[in-house]
Amino acid sequence: MSTWDTIVDFVVIGSGAAGMTGALFAHDLGASTLVVEKSGRYGGSTALSGGMLWVPANHLMLQARLADSLVEGLTYLEDITRGTSSADRLRVYLETAPAMVRYLADHSHVRFDCIADYPDYYPERPGGKVGGRSIEPEEFDARALGAEFACQRMPSKNALVLGLLQITVGEVRMLMRGGRPATTFLLRHLLRYLFDVRARWRTRNDTRLTLGPALAARLRRSLMDRDVPLWLNTTLQELVVEHGRVVGVVVEREGRTVAIRATKGVLLAAGGFERNGVLRQHYQQPPIGDQWTVGSSDNTGDWVDLGLRVGAAFDLMEEAWWTPVLLAPGEPQPRVMIVEKGLPGSLIIDQRGERFVNEAAPYNDIGHRMFATHAAAAAAIPAYFVFDGRFRKKYAIGPVMPGSSRPDWTLPKVVRERFLTIAPTIAELAAKLGVDRERFESTIRRYNEGARVGRDPDYGRGDSPQDRYYSDPRVTPNPCLGSLETPPFYAARVYPGDLGTKGGLRTDHRARVLATGGDPIAGLYAAGNCSASVMGDTYPGAGGTIGPAMTFACIAARHAIGGDCFASPSRAA
C-alpha cells in the first residue's frame, strides 16, 4: 500500500464483547487503538445477549467462598470438549479469564456479579460446579453514556419484560414464579420507567441496563473514558498483506475508502456468520438458513472471504451456539426457548410423536439432538413443544402470557391458529399435527407415568441441577416433571435456532490466526465468534461464549502490543 490515510498501532474490527475488550486492553498496554464497526450501532450480538461470562475460579466466586481452581476448570473442559478443542488454548483461557475479569473490575466500568447458584451445564461431570462460574454484568445506568446511548444496539421489544423493561438473571426466575414479589417488581419498575421523564422525552429504551446491554454499555463507557475512537458505519473490506504480514486494513467509511495502517496488529472481532444464509448452507447441516438465529443482523461473516484470501485455516464451521426457538406470528425475530422447555407439564416430540431428548438439557444440546434426529431417525425440524391446560395456565410460552392472566379466548386469532395448535384430546392434537396417534398417546402415557413418581426413565429429565435451574420448585418430587392430563392440549412448533455461529478462523493460544499450513499469520488476530471456539462443539455454562470472546481479545492485545497490563498500573483516563 503506497499511501495510508491513518496510522495506528492496533485496529479492531467489530464492537462487540471481543472487539471492545481487545481495544480496552490494547489502549491500557500503551497502543494507539481504533475500533471500526460496520453497523450504525455498536455492541453486536453482545448488546442483545444475556451478557454472562463463564469463568472458573473468578475472584467473585472465591470471595463468595465457592471453591474452584484452574485444575478443576481444566478437568471439566477437557472432559466436555472431548478433543474438539486444544489443551493449550483451554489452559490459557483458564489462566487469563479470571485475571482479565479482575483487571476490568479494578480499572474500568466492566464489573460483574457472581451468580452463586447458576450451575455449569454439566455439573455432574468431573470438575463441574453447581454455581459461581457464571457471572453477570452489574446493572448500569445508561444516562452515564450521554448521547452515545442512542448509538447502542438494543434488544427488540420481544426480549424485554412487557416489551419495555430489562431484568437480571435472578429477576427472570423471580418473575417466572409469579405471585406477589413478581407483581410488586413489575409495578415498581413500570412506575420508575414511566416517571423517568427526561429519558422518556428522548427514548423508548429503559435506562436501567442489565445483562448484555449493561455489558456493552460498560465496555463502551470504559472506551469513552480512554478516548479510544470507534468509527460506526465502517466496514472492513480488505486485509493488507506485505511480505507475509498483515500490516493494515482497507475499510469503507460512509461511502469513502480508507486505508488504515496497523503497526502492531489487526484484531478481527467481527462476530459470526449467522446472518449469511448462503454461507450457512455451504458449511452447515440442512435444513439451515439464517431465519432461526437471534444473532445480530450485521453478522454476515465478511471475514470468511477475507480469511480465505490470506490463506487462513478454518474450524468448526458446521457449529453454532444452538438453542431451540419459537417463531411467533408478526415478530421479526425468533424467540429463544430456554426457560419454558424444562418446566413441568410439557415435552418435545418429533413428527412421529416421540420424544428424542431431555427437554431440560442445555439448549445447545437440544439443537444438536434436533439436527441428529432429523438426519437419522425422524423429521424433527420443526419439532413440537406439547403441554396441557394446567401448564398453559401457569407459565408463559414465548409471547403468550400465562392463561391465568391471558385465557385463550383473549388471545389474537393469529396466535390461537398459527402459533398454538389447540385440541381437547391428545388424539385430536395428533390429528391436527399430523403425527401418529398411537405413538403420540403412548409417548404421553409413558411420560405421565414417570412424571407422577418424579422420574424420566428415558432421558433423566430433572436429574441434573442444571435441569432444575429453570424449573418450578413448587412441583414435587421432580420440579421439571408434571403429567399432561388437563385439557385442552397444546402444541407450538420448535426450530433449531442459535445465538450465533461459533466456527471461524483457526487461532492458537495467543489468538493468532493460523494459516492452512499451521503457522501463524503475522499481524493477524481473531477473537469471539469469527474465530473457531475454544469450547469446541460444546457449551460449558452460561457465559461460555462471551467469556472466551473477551479473554482471547485480551490475549491478542497482550501479544500484539507486548507488556503485561495485569502487573502494571492502569492507563485509563
Angle between helices 87-107 and 17-28 (to 10 degrees): 70
Q: Looking only at residues 377 through 406 of this chain, which bind ligand FAD when binding is defined by CB under 6 A?
A: none
> Could you give the CA distance from residue 387 to residue 483 in angstroms, rounded to a whole number?
9
Please tell me whether residue 362 binds ligand FAD under the rule CB under 6 A: no
Find where cell 400465562 sits. 402
User: Whose Cβ is closer to ligand FAD: residue 104's or residue 499's?
Assistant: 499
- Residue 179, class by beta-carbon neighbours within 10 Å (0-12 exposed, 13-18 middle, 19+ buried)? exposed
Q: Least separation, in Å, of the C-beta of 13 and ligand FAD?
A: 5
Residue given cell 493477524 in the structure block: 524
Contact 483, 447 (CB under 8 A): yes
Bond preceding residue 488 cis, omega within 30 of 0: yes
Q: Does 166 bind ligand FAD (CB under 6 A)?
A: no
Cell of 239: 486485509
Among 321, 384, 419, 440, binds ligand FAD (CB under 6 A): 321
Q: How far is the CB of 391 from ligand FAD (least distance, A)?
A: 24
Query: Does position 544 bind ligand FAD by CB under 6 A?
Result: yes
**For residue 513, what is the enclosing H or E element?**
strand 512-514
Q: Using CB under 6 A, pick the residue from 11, 12, 18, 532 that binds ligand FAD.
A: 18
Give the helix ranges, DSSP H, for 363-502.
Answer: 363-376, 389-394, 413-414, 426-433, 437-452, 465-469
How near is the Cβ of 409 to ligand FAD at its closest, in Å?
A: 32
Site for ligand FAD contains 443 (CB under 6 A)? no
Nearest approach, Cβ of 345 to ligand FAD (angstroms)?
25
Q: Give 42 or 103: the residue with its C-beta nearer to ligand FAD.
A: 42
Q: Kindly indicate which of the ranges 50-58, 100-108, 435-443, 510-518 contains the residues binding ligand FAD, using the contact rule CB under 6 A.
A: 50-58
Please report which residue ranges of 335-436 form alpha helices under DSSP H.
363-376, 389-394, 413-414, 426-433
How many residues form the binding site for ligand FAD (CB under 6 A)?
Answer: 42
Tell me how far, at minimum, the Cβ of 17 lies from ligand FAD, in Å: 4
Beta carbons of 523 and 397 less than 8 angstroms apart: no
Site for ligand FAD in 486-505 (CB under 6 A): 499-500
Candidate ranges 39-47, 59-67, 116-124, 193-201; the one touching ligand FAD (CB under 6 A): 39-47
Give the distance, in angstroms, between the CA of residue 85 and the centroid of all CA atoms in the same chain. Answer: 19
Q: How many Å is the Cα radius of gyration of the chain?
A: 24
Q: Which is nearer to ligand FAD, 58 or 545 (CB)?
A: 545
Q: Which of 12, 13, 31, 534 binds ligand FAD (CB under 6 A)?
A: 13
Encoded one letter per residue, x for contact with ligand FAD by CB under 6 A and - for no contact, window 268-307 reads -xxx----------------------xxx-xx--x-----
The C-alpha atoms of residue 267 and residue 391 are separated, in whole angstroms, by 48
Q: Does 36 bind ligand FAD (CB under 6 A)?
A: yes
Contacts of 486 by beta carbon, 8 Å cutoff, 6+ apart:
388, 389, 390
Q: Which of 33, 46, 421, 464 binds ligand FAD (CB under 6 A)?
A: 46
- Cα distances (Å, whole numbers) of residue 234 to 13, 225, 228, 252, 257: 9, 22, 15, 5, 9
Which of 49, 81, 284, 373 touches ligand FAD by CB under 6 A? 49
- Residue 427 C-beta: closest distance to ligand FAD, Å: 37
> Where do contacts with ligand FAD occur on this chain (CB under 6 A)?
13-19, 36-39, 44-46, 48-52, 235-236, 269-271, 294-296, 298-299, 302, 321, 336, 499-500, 528-529, 542-546, 549
